[in-house]
Amino acid sequence: MGSSSSSMTNIPDAQQLIQETGFSAAHILRLYERFEFLDKDKRGELRQETVDFASFVRILAHFRPTDTSRTRDGAQQEPANSSTGKLKSAFQLYDQDRDGKISRAELLQVLRAMMGIQVTEEQLHSIAERAIQEADLDRDDAISFDEFRQSLEKVNVDHKMSIRFLK
């Protein structure tokens, strides 16, 4: 996979990343190789969004399959790949202004991106309207994280948001 040397010493903050995300050393290595592959200009960051390797790993950590047999000590932070962590990362993709709620405009934006030119604005509006009506339990005209989680209660998030590759 390219001429990059496959040694852990090249990777910045490897140990810290392992600690934080729960990936194994082999995983970090593999992800680093992938990062190198994507980073064609050798800028040390991925284009446009300027994601450096650490952020790259942190984002992908959300999609690691859930550890079912993990003992949780109280002091430890919620791991990134638990159900809540996964849902939170998905929620943040909707909620771009980070106000903790998905407003109608944000929902419309996502819907537009998903369906784009195939549907009319009115149809998008109706769907967004209905979605908010259904999910919004506290009647604040936006979907909070808990409402989001509740509307996905039937979906097996552990299964849906995990990539086996990252196990």
Kindly state whether residue 14 participates in binding another protein, applying the rule CB under 8 A: no
Segment interacting with another protein (CB under 8 A) among 9-17, 18-26, 74-82, 151-159? 151-159
Kindly state whether residue 22 participates in binding another protein, applying the rule CB under 8 A: no
Where in the chain does DSSP place strands (E)? 45-46, 51-52, 101-102, 143-144
The CA distance from 55 to 39, in Å, is: 14
Q: How far is the CB of 46 from another protein (least distance, A)?
A: 9
Task: Indicate which single residue of 8, 12, 25, 37 sits in contact with another protein (rule: CB under 8 A).
Answer: 37
What's the DSSP call for residue 77? P
Kindly state whether residue 24 participates in binding another protein, applying the rule CB under 8 A: no
- Angle between helix 104-115 and helix 121-135 axes, rounded to 10 deg: 130
Task: Indicate which single residue of 68, 71, 100, 145 sits in contact with another protein (rule: CB under 8 A).
Answer: 68
Terminal-residue alpha carbon distance, the chain: 20
Kindly state whether residue 72 participates in binding another protein, applying the rule CB under 8 A: no
How far from the centroid of its chain's Cα atoms is residue 32's Cα? Answer: 18
Looking at the chain, how many residues does it have?
A: 167
Kindly state whether residue 156 participates in binding another protein, applying the rule CB under 8 A: yes
CA-closest candidate to residue 26, choices 47, 8, 41, 43: 8
Task: Indicate which single residue of 29, 90, 109, 145 sits in contact with another protein (rule: CB under 8 A).
Answer: 90
Q: How far is the CB of 36 from another protein (least distance, A)?
A: 12
Are the C-beta atoms of 144 and 138 separated by less than 8 Å? yes
Interface with another protein (CB under 8 A) = 31, 34, 37-38, 60, 63, 65, 68, 90, 93-94, 110-111, 114-115, 118-120, 122-123, 125-127, 129-136, 139, 141, 148, 151-156, 158-166
